[in-house]
Chain A
Amino acid sequence: MKVLEVQSISKSYGDYQALNDISLSVPEGQIFGLLGPNGAGKTSLIRIINQIIAPDQGSILFEGEKLCEDHVRQIGYLPEERGLYKKMKVGEQALYLAQLKGMSEREAKKALKEWFQKFEINSWWDKKVEELSKGMAQKVQFIITVLHRPKLLIFDEPFSGFDPINANLIKDEILQLKEQGTSIIFSTHRMESVEELCDHIALIDKSKKILDGPVELIKEQYKEQIYKVDFASTQLDFLSTLPEEYHLMHKNSHKAEIQIKNGVPASTLIRHLLDKSDITAFEEKIPSINEIFIKTVQEN
């Protein structure tokens, strides 16, 4: 089941093309990483999904229906450029924004009290936003985004501005929301958080989609048959005279990385190495999302 389907969306601003025929499917109940370098078109796509701007071409389906104003209530959005009214009180402001999403006042108040309790910030209710620190204001923004229990959450660089402790708190909340069945689109530059959170990623570069799929599968595709070997001895001179189907990538005192060419099975390599030295560990090197990101963007 797909919660959101983006079908050949294009958008240009004058001569500048921001999105070129982008299609994506966001699976239900998963965290979908939307990656790409600065200016790739991520924010344009997110704004189109939020109906802030309209695409030139293409369409978007939300749970199989054409996206329309009624779906605003089903979506929660934490933009990258975010803030609150500085002179307004926290509680009042949260109520206002929740009502704009379509919640009733009573419903919003109840949900807000719960979240304030959970984050232990009850005392902030009557404070003006300008009295809060940046991190505190970010917490309030997070609550406002998820308050109306949307089916789809969109976070654009959610961790920017958080200290490590609060970033962790928010990360746990995001994982909990996923467990409760919420689908999440997650746009960021921070690859380590993608690694930790995302089930599925799409990579956009220069207004085009260049990579899309479940994280496991993509990693599988990008494996280069490189194996990390730990040797028992430090006498590793034999590595410089390896047969030609093996290629030494890297070595230090008792470790080495060896790439196998021509589809030779790994067991052959192990047998070959065991003849020379004892091995304490042998594992395949899985590329990180970061490496995949840099590689594909550079190749593009």
Chain B
Amino acid sequence: MNKILLIIKREYLSRVRKKSFVIMTIVAPILMTGLMVAPILLHETSEEDAKEILVCDENELFETHFEDREDIHYQFIDEPIEKAKEVFAETEAYALVHIPRVEANNLDLLESTVKVYARKQVSLSSQNNIEYNIEKVLESIKLKEEGLTRELIDKTRSSVSLNTIILDESGDEKISSTEISMGISMASGFLIYIFIFIYGTMVMKGVMEEKSSRIVEIIISSVKPFQLMMGKIIGIALVGFTQFALWIVLTVIISSVATGLLINPADINPADITPGVEMLAQDMQVQQGGFEFVMEQLGSLNLPLILGMFLFYFVGGYLMYGSLFAAVGAAVDVETDSQQFMMPITIPLIFGIIALQTIVDNPDGPLAFWCSIIPFTSPIVMMGRIPFDPPMWQIGLSMLMLILGFIFTAWFAGRIYRVGILMYGQKVNYKTMWKWIRHH
């Protein structure tokens, strides 16, 4: 036992002290912050020079109805299109919109005949804005023909956001939110997936280093091969926890400092942030009650259970896959040979992540059930189901299966490991591995 602690200590310290660890730990949060802050900053700077768009409207229907936006100014030209083109060529204007003459009873033609002239490709958001303005005018005209006004239409428009409430057996009411459950579910599934991959690969490389530097025989004359393997897996897990914890802390610190320094909150207009962020912003608007509302919904979830389960599947999944990665490292001499043995490890992991996307839509279906019981996918999939309150017996079964799965892979990997680490210069395939498991 004392020896396994020594191994854990060495594996942990030798990695945490590495320059690459320190650099990764610092650079990753900066990159994360950059990814979050850059779009906002870029948007801000691009706003500074507003675009001027010329409009040549041969119907004289639109002039007063085009709405300028902060970054787009419309200017109407009362000239025939040929002349307007000359004007466009002389000025610095961004684009020229040509609305051709159509008969008053045939306005629908405009849906496909409007042209935009520009010096280079027109940005998507300007295109959308021009389309929006034309559509609005056409709609108003049509409404008027039917005897309705725009105000009346606006008054009848409504926006619904559901407040789902969970009624439990004792009659207590809890406000729930599918969006938040889905968010937690996807995020924790992904974290587990990433953790297994990064640190599983680290285990594999560590084993290969010991094998190729030929130190392994010296070590296993003092400790059992299984102790060395488990010591390494646990040591690297601790490296992973340290790195994740530092990443979270540093990301929070750096991003709050960065937002404070670089972005003036008054400048952020959620409606016209780039499309990716737009969806989030809309989600936030749906949660009209704001922060307190979100907190209330979080409260409706069984947070201690979610957190506890997350830790269990995080550690369990890593341990199960970690021993398989160690076995691969022991079986090969050079990294390029590891590819063929990585396949059976990566496929269930990737399958788990793909399945997770459909499972959040149907968290109690048969796919969800089986994927959360089979230990190769359960760390990702069961964690994805937890926020949707799966039956207790399924959670229990899944946990039990994961523990059994870990014992099995540790045994299985241990047998490959103790033979593999002493085999040099042998071309290993699945058949030889099977021999090792049976005969040694």
Contact = CB atoms under 8 A, between A and B. Distances in A.
Are A and B genuine complex partners? Answer: yes
Interface of A: 12-14, 47, 50-53, 72, 75, 77, 79, 81-88, 96-97, 99-102, 141, 144
Interface residues of B, number: 26
Contact of A83 (B214, B220, B439): B214
Interface string B129-171: 0000000000000000000000000000000000000000000
A100 B213 contact: no
Contacts of B213: 83-86
A85 B439 contact: no
The A interface is mostly helix, strand or loop, or mixed, namely loop
- Most A-side CB within 10 Å, residue of B14, B18, B215: B215
A274 B365 CA distance: 108
B424 interface: yes
- Shortest 4 CB-CB contacts between residues of A and residues of B: A83-B214, A100-B222, A79-B217, A83-B213
A52 B218 CA distance: 10
A31 to B, nearest CB: 20
Contact of A85 (B209, B222, B223): B209
Contact of B218 (A53, A79, A87, A99): A79
Contacts of A83: 213-215, 218
8 contacts: A47-B422, A51-B221, A52-B422, A84-B215, A84-B218, A86-B209, A100-B219, A100-B223
Contacts of B7: 100
B14 A72 contact: no
Given A50-B221, A52-B422, A79-B221, A13 B214 contact: no
B6 A82 contact: no
Contacts of B440: 13, 53
Nearest to B14: A88
B313 to A, nearest CB: 33
Interface of B: 3, 6-7, 10, 14, 18, 209-210, 213-215, 217-223, 225, 418, 422, 424, 435, 438-440
Contacts of B217: 52, 77, 79, 81-82
- Most B-side CB within 10 Å, residue of A77, A79, A102: A79
A114 B6 CA distance: 23
A49 to B, nearest CB: 10
Contact of B439 (A13, A52, A81, A144): A13
Contacts of A96: 6, 10
A72 B222 CA distance: 6
Given A13-B439, A13-B440, A81-B424, A141 B221 contact: no
- Most B-side CB within 10 Å, residue of A12, A52, A81, A100: A100
Given A50-B221, A52-B220, A81-B424, 19 more contacts: A12-B439, A14-B438, A47-B422, A52-B217, A72-B221, A72-B222, A75-B221, A77-B221, A79-B218, A81-B214, A81-B217, A82-B214, A82-B217, A82-B218, A85-B213, A86-B213, A88-B14, A99-B6, A100-B7
Contacts of A72: 221-222
A85 B215 CA distance: 7
